Structure 1
């Protein structure tokens, strides 16, 4: 295995529960670079009702890199108010250009400041941290990277302190965000609560003890229908005009006037809405099959230097999850944050609606991971303290 083929060579794990074990992860090669992004003052944007914008920008980081690498697989993870990814040496400058363009674009298009940093794995390991990766296959056509080792959390803290900054590029062309979409309406909770969970190992926590804790947390979520998956079999709601039409137009317009892009997307959404309403295949597109794949390809739970979940949760399971977290926190094993809302939202990357490689990022619709992480930071002084 060469350093460039590391990610392609990783085995794809089919059981999410098995990812709680530290041995499920492999260390990134030392000459790779870790890249991370984060929206400045995202908690204030959430409070102002702009969480769909926050999620869109976080997903845009992934969409821009996917397009820049022309579909080549690389490890990435969506964090709600940002995203992180890793690249081998040959893609280092591409990643730098994409991040620089994104920083200028978010400021110009949305008036939102995006932090971005890039740092070598060797530096992270010098500081006693690590970045380890696993590939979780949700189907034969899509998988998500999982991160462990503490290195990503350390890198985010360095980014917020101003280290390893990727400077914005004001003259750069807008990033290619083809396939990025947010037309679905919010998905209401069917069990009463959409629960955002952020659980991280406390400093010095034993990895095996945290693995046992994570397994128990997943068992509790497993008592919910579909493990608490917030997206129903019928998919999210699609209203007309779509709730995220303006955001999608801003994200995909490039140099096109905004009104023209909105008119195009309005017509496209009307046609798509008719197809979904009819529930009948048109050409190579089967709306019912698409919705079933959407659910399967949604990242409602992930390992991101800890365990994050967006659960459609009953009050009873919520109380048991909180008790499990509090007990682990009392013995110095875990730091955690929770946030409750009444709906989830989905942001999508769909390179082609007739192919099955589309992926979907799930978060709570009223603060989600951003607010849960802020609650963690308020309680424990965690890594999101400067969100």
Structure 2
């Protein structure tokens, strides 16, 4: 069952240096018989305005956790988009993917009171529509790699998802995916340079690919000066609190057949112990808190390429203005569409199957709209 995934994805060379992401030689076409799974929170912007930003992010990350756990935590290509997620799997895992999509949509409906659109799109259908899906593997640290997507096929599939094509129906009430390891215990991370910027830039047409790659290079150069832009996650110990801000939603991810109140009571005691261990650097068995915190920052998924550039940056207002001007010029030249959203802080949602391993992943977004708010401008 694992051969297709292991043979294809594991053999894609892992690259370092985010600036290399537009090099087409790094990308490999997905096999024709693979499938793409996708999710999207309906009316996510309104939900965020209503204060449900943690729930929206958890709904997006939940699909990745559900699929990973269903696959026994094997590596597979996925990407997190703030209010949704996408992944690719070989045909022998298609039914596992369908079940995870249906169960996740049911859980989001039942426990988070949100609607999650989900779909399973054949790669063959994407190519028949004239698009492609190529994937690369970027390693922000020695411990993890994240999939980067190119070819326009992922963006086309997202349009199909929102149009209701290839839809997977949510499972019956009470169906729950395995979301072990999914949590969001951190407080918001306030901006140090003035603001947290959520940025999305996508090419207008395939013919503008070279100009778009030049635009991406300009953006990466502009954001490469630490005096003006930095990693959005810092000072982790100050972002710890008890009870954690995400206690309620974590109780819902892990409650099983228990009531939310009962699970919150048990989880409250567990998170109190975890808070003390992390806050005071207490080593327990093979767990080293300081190492985990360093790995969290190094492994964080705060910039990516999924048929377009997405970044969450802690930057100065002046840099945000220059980025907006550069993107606006590219838009007026017919090269790119873009969305920006400015906020005061960032949030992180974590998937940690084992705190004793170094391959835990952490999805970063803006705390007051993030990618979902930035994407609203793309629809104008």
Task: State TM-score, norm by structure 1.
Answer: 0.94
Q: Which of residues 187, 208, 211 is equivalent to 1:185?
A: 187
Residue 200 of structure 1 corresponds to: 202
CA contact (8 A) 1:205 1:332 kept: no
Q: For 1:347 and 1:70, how far apart are their aligned partners in 2? A: 20
SS class of match (2:186): coil
1:362 is the counterpart of 2:364: yes
Q: For 2:238 and 2:150, how far apart are their aligned partners in 1? A: 30
CA contact (8 A) 2:193 2:228 kept: no
CA shift, 1:203, in A, is: 2.3
CA contact (8 A) 1:39 1:113 kept: yes
1:229 is the counterpart of 2:227: no
Within-5 A mapping of 1:1-387 = 5-170=7-172, 173-224=175-226, 228-232=230-234, 234=236, 237-378=239-380
Q: For 2:343 and 2:142, how far apart are their aligned partners in 1? A: 32
Cα gap change, 1:192/1:3 in structure 2, threshold over 3 Å: closer, same or farther? closer
Q: For 1:211 and 1:359, how far apart are their aligned partners in 2? A: 27
CA contact (8 A) 2:34 2:123 kept: yes
Out of 279-288 and 292-301, give the one that drifted further: 279-288
Q: For 1:226 and 1:348, how far apart are their aligned partners in 2? A: 27
Q: For 1:74 and 1:145, how far apart are their aligned partners in 2? A: 8
SS class of match (1:153): helix
CA contact (8 A) 1:230 1:312 kept: yes
Q: For 2:105 and 2:4, how far apart are their aligned partners in 1? A: 32
SS class of match (1:231): coil
Q: For 1:283 and 1:138, how far apart are their aligned partners in 2? A: 27
CA contact (8 A) 2:5 2:89 kept: no
Q: Detail structure 1 runs of 4+ shifted over 4 Å in the superposition.
A: 1-4
Q: For 1:281 and 1:363, how far apart are their aligned partners in 2? A: 30
CA contact (8 A) 1:22 1:208 kept: no
CA contact (8 A) 2:78 2:87 kept: yes
Cα gap change, 1:326/1:10 in structure 2, threshold over 3 Å: closer, same or farther? same
Out of 310-319 and 339-348, give the one that drifted further: 310-319
SS class of match (1:35): strand
Q: For 1:204 and 1:78, how far apart are their aligned partners in 2? A: 23
Q: For 1:138 and 1:313, how far apart are their aligned partners in 2? A: 20
Cα gap change, 1:300/1:235 in structure 2, threshold over 3 Å: closer, same or farther? farther
Residue 384 of structure 1 corresponds to: none
Q: For 1:70 and 1:302, how far apart are their aligned partners in 2? A: 25
CA contact (8 A) 1:22 1:211 kept: no
CA contact (8 A) 2:228 2:315 kept: no
Quote the RMSD (CA, aligned, Å). 1.6
How big is each residue's C-alpha offset from its partner over 1:76-126, in whole Å with a ceiling of 9 and x where there is no partner?
000000100000011000000111111111111121111011111111011
Q: For 1:83 and 1:89, how far apart are their aligned partners in 2? A: 19
CA shift, 1:140, in A, is: 2.5
CA contact (8 A) 2:240 2:279 kept: no
How big is each residue's C-alpha offset from its partner over 1:110-145, in whole Å with a ceiling of 9 and x where there is no partner?
211110111111110111111110101122221111
SS class of match (1:9): coil
Cα gap change, 1:296/1:116 in structure 2, threshold over 3 Å: closer, same or farther? same
CA contact (8 A) 1:68 1:94 kept: yes
How big is each residue's C-alpha offset from its partner over 1:161-194, in whole Å with a ceiling of 9 and x where there is no partner?
1110111120663100000000100000000100
Runs of at least 5 residues in structure 1 that lack an aligned partner in the other structure: 379-387
Q: For 1:255 and 1:3, how far apart are their aligned partners in 2? A: 32
SS class of match (2:141): coil
Task: State TM-score, norm by structure 2.
Answer: 0.96
